[in-house]
Chains A and B, each alone.
Chain A
Amino acid sequence: MRARTRTARRAVVLAAVASLGAGLLAGCADDGGDDKASDGSSSGGGKGKTTITLGLFGTFGFKEAGLYAEYEKLHPDIKIAENVTERNENYYPALVNHLTTNSGLQDIQAVEVGNIAEVVATQASKLEDLSKTAGVKKDDWLDWKWAQGTTKDNQTIALGTDVGPMAICYRKDLFQQAGLPTDRAAVAKLWTGDWNKFVSVGEQYKKKAPKGTTFMDSPGGLINAILSSEKEKFYDASGEVIYKKNPAVKAAFDLTAKAATEGLVGAQTQFQPAWDTTIANTKFAAMACPPWMLGYIKGKSKPDAAGKWDVAVAPKSGNWGGSFLSVPKSGKHVKEAAALAAWLTAPAQQAKLFSVQGSFPSAPGTYTEAAVTSAKNEMTGDAPIGTIFAEAAKSSPVQVIGPKDQIIQQGLTDNGVILVTKGKSAAEAWTTATKTIDNNLDK
């Protein structure tokens, strides 16, 4: 008994000590690592490389486009590392938490357009004014994109990366089977200037629709497209929440609900795996589509879908998506980070990103460059997507955005129009949506 007890004791002690020790050592080792990194930078230009880290979500593709490698070549003392979170739903609350406590921040942090108003309104004091960084010229950006990253007292705390000018992607084969025109100019003419006409085209489509297909992919896609082309949607210019009394919002909701009631849209939520499969299996004929959506379609399609899509001008131009880069003041390498952010968002890099990733530049200067004008996409054959999207970008309204746009939009979509596809009336869906939104907005 004695021997066994002693062995047991020793084992337990060893285990406890070893693991505690390991933890502490690990902690120390990390400290050491951090210190080294900061020493390298503060000594300035010495032997150690400065590592700049980026905090990104989902959709950037800087690395895939080879931009980090290029920058590291231009600046041999800089190393770039990225932290990517797949979903902005996870990324953004963590970012806010990090900003408010000034800790855990990367040297560069990305911000999605749905959150930029809130960041500008509440976190500006934590972020560098990038307008003074060398190489940053206000005129390089679309005016509204620049304005979205700028505070009331003229601090530009976020530089625009891409924008999402919207067009309509449609399946030529399905349109043909339904007896609709397939030429992109003729298609665009069917609905020019009015989303109601767009829905009417859907009604026509439905009369001769190929079996098992709907006109559009989802109610969320439709209401989002309509709202994106409105100048004012959820907030007015003074910052007041007006989504319930804004007739444009109610009209968009009702039109989408009508389309849903008539079965013109699939009963899907965008970006769910189930929705992905409707792309792969050609279950709908048209969708609102910013340039980045072409990449999405490609990723989810079967190989034989290449070239069967085409792109037509949307009833009204609008913007869907796009992001910004910001530089937290508390970073260890603020200057270097600002320089990198400026470089990554400069027109030349934006153009490269477009050719590789399909992220559409927010720098209008590039819209006349060959990289944009001659851009083609595998999925859409010879469609001049560069020209169509550039036109959409220039004619998009300068939209008023608010801090809680994302919550309101999500409520209208995921707690609203989707219910109509489940057999609820438009009025019931509106009630559920507004009740949800009001509760979510109420502090």
Chain B
Amino acid sequence: MATRHTTAAPPVKEGGAAPGRPPAAPTEAEQRRRNRLSRRWQRDMRWSPYAFVSPFFLLFLAFGLFPLIYTGWASLHQVEMTAPTDMTWVGMRNYTRIFDDDFFWNAARNTLTIGIISTVPQLLMAMGLAHILNYKLRASTFYRVAMLAPYATSIAAASLVFVLLFGRDYGMINWALHFVGIDAVDWQNDKWPSQIAVSSIVIWRWTGYNALIYLAAMQAIPQDLYESAALDGASRWRQFLHVTLPSLRPTILFTVVVSTIGASQVFGEPLLFDANKGASGGAEHQFQTLGLYLYEQGWVNQHLGRASAIAWTMFLILIVVGIVNYVISRRLRASS
């Protein structure tokens, strides 16, 4: 591309809201030019950033902030979907009741475990795949495209197929398992199998995509780093540990941060995995996530006030998690 450049940019700070660098100090020639600048130019410098960010924020004000404030207001009321304007003030009750709400905490635990089951193997597999794809291979494009194909599938379509594949009596997975001597697993009704099954939908859709991201990052690692490691007598495994992984750290941290946000909102897969039980996430709520519980309270049970409080609580938990994440990543960076 025309504007490609080879000048070195300093390492970028990773983590959510890392501030950009100050611009380079102006040269003298520049200074002279700057002195000639009109007031208009200064206005441009001053206001154009706001012009650039304002479309997003205008849209956000209209379509993002209003719902947020509305749910915030609704969360302080008892209000039903059958009459959304008919509100009864209850103060913080919708929040305080969450402390005793076993279903909420069950959903929180499930969100955490499904988040771990779906994210950790997915990113590890993606890393391994990227490593393999980084070899010289025949038909390498074919593998890459094939692994990206699940990504084009909607959550709904993917969940529909997986429900059939995970069927207890006539599903292909149990049929295959019985050849290795494993009895039929009840993928919908047993706790861990159901969480694994739900997570597998997430894993299936996203592993290939993440593998490509890691692969791209791996390809950007300078070869001389490996060469000097090899000179020091490092095995390939040690090269992976001491060269590849550190170089990928920013990428990994980002996938982890974004995955955390995404995993906290997992919703469509568990909803559709047992659609006949509505949004309860299984008979014993064994795979009901927070996103699903919020949906059940607001959309199925029609308790807008309670659902809004759950939404805000989720939001606040995430912000806390985000801050912790940020602090940890800063520490990690500082220590290395």
Contacts and interface: CB of A to CB of B under 8 A. Distances in A.
Touch test A–B (CB under 8 Å): yes
Interface of A: 1, 4-5, 8, 87, 89, 93, 96-97, 100-101, 118, 122-123, 269-274, 277-278, 407, 410, 414-415, 418-419, 422, 432, 435-436, 439-443
A422 B189 contact: yes
Given A97-B81, A277-B169, A271 B302 contact: no
A1 B3 contact: yes
Contacts of A93: 81, 299-300, 302
Contact of B283 (A100, A123, A422): A422
A278 B101 CA distance: 37
Interface string B181-210: 000001011000000000000000000000
B114 interface: no
Given A277-B169, A439-B103, A122 B82 contact: yes
A269 B277 contact: yes
Interface in B265-280: 274-278, 280
A64 B333 CA distance: 66
Contacts of A277: 167, 169-170
Given A4-B2, A443-B303, A414 B277 contact: yes
B157 interface: no
Contacts of A439: 101, 103
B167 A89 contact: no
Q: Which residue, A4, A118, A436, has most C-beta atoms of chain B within 10 A?
A: A436
Given A122-B83, A432-B284, A274 B169 contact: yes
A269 B301 CA distance: 21
Closest 3 CB pairs of A and B: A4-B2, A122-B82, A1-B2
A419 B2 contact: no
A415 B284 contact: yes
A422 B1 CA distance: 62
B262 interface: no
A436 B274 CA distance: 17
Chain B: number of interface residues, binned into ranges: 35 or more
22 contacts: A1-B2, A1-B3, A4-B1, A5-B2, A89-B300, A93-B299, A93-B300, A122-B80, A122-B82, A269-B274, A271-B276, A273-B164, A274-B167, A278-B169, A410-B278, A415-B277, A422-B283, A432-B283, A440-B296, A440-B297, A442-B303, A443-B80
Contacts of A407: 300-301
B283 A414 contact: yes
B82 A96 contact: yes
Main secondary structure of the interface of A (DSSP, over half): helix
Given A270-B276, A419-B284, A123 B1 contact: no
A4 B302 CA distance: 55
Interface in B76-134: 78, 80-84, 101-103
A273 B300 CA distance: 22
Q: Which residue, B78, B82, B167, has most C-beta atoms of chain A within 10 A?
A: B82
Contacts of B186: 422
A89 B275 contact: yes
B291 interface: no
Nearest to A272: B276
A272 B299 CA distance: 22
Given A96-B302, A439-B103, A419 B283 contact: yes
A352 B63 CA distance: 48
Interface string B161-187: 001100111100000000000000010
Nearest to A7: B2
B15 interface: no
Contacts of A101: 84
Given A97-B81, A100-B83, A436-B280, A274 B302 contact: no
Nearest to B1: A4
A100 B3 contact: no
A432 B80 CA distance: 24
B106 to A, nearest CB: 11
Contact of A418 (B80, B83, B170, B283): B283
Given A5-B3, A272-B276, A96 B284 contact: no
B49 to A, nearest CB: 20
A305 to B, nearest CB: 17
Contacts of A442: 303, 306
Contacts of A269: 274, 276-277
Given A410-B278, A414-B276, A418-B283, A440 B301 contact: yes
B276 to A, nearest CB: 5
Nearest to A436: B280
A100 B81 contact: yes
Nearest to A100: B84
Contacts of A418: 189, 283
Contact of A118 (B82, B163, B297): B82
A123 B82 contact: yes
Given A87-B275, A278-B169, 20 more contacts: A5-B3, A89-B275, A89-B278, A93-B302, A96-B82, A96-B302, A100-B82, A273-B163, A274-B167, A274-B188, A277-B170, A407-B300, A414-B280, A415-B283, A419-B283, A436-B285, A439-B101, A440-B296, A440-B300, A443-B78
Given A100-B82, A122-B83, A443-B305, A415 B169 contact: no
Contact of B274 (A123, A272, A435): A272
A442 B102 CA distance: 14
B267 to A, nearest CB: 14
A415 B283 CA distance: 4
B158 to A, nearest CB: 15
A285 B321 CA distance: 54
Contacts of A432: 283-284
B312 to A, nearest CB: 17
B89 to A, nearest CB: 13
B116 to A, nearest CB: 25
Contacts of A1: 2-3
A101 B274 CA distance: 30
Interface in B296-336: 296-297, 299-303, 305-306
Contacts of A97: 81
Contacts of B283: 414-415, 418-419, 422, 432
B137 to A, nearest CB: 32
Contacts of B2: 1, 4-5, 8
A418 B305 CA distance: 30
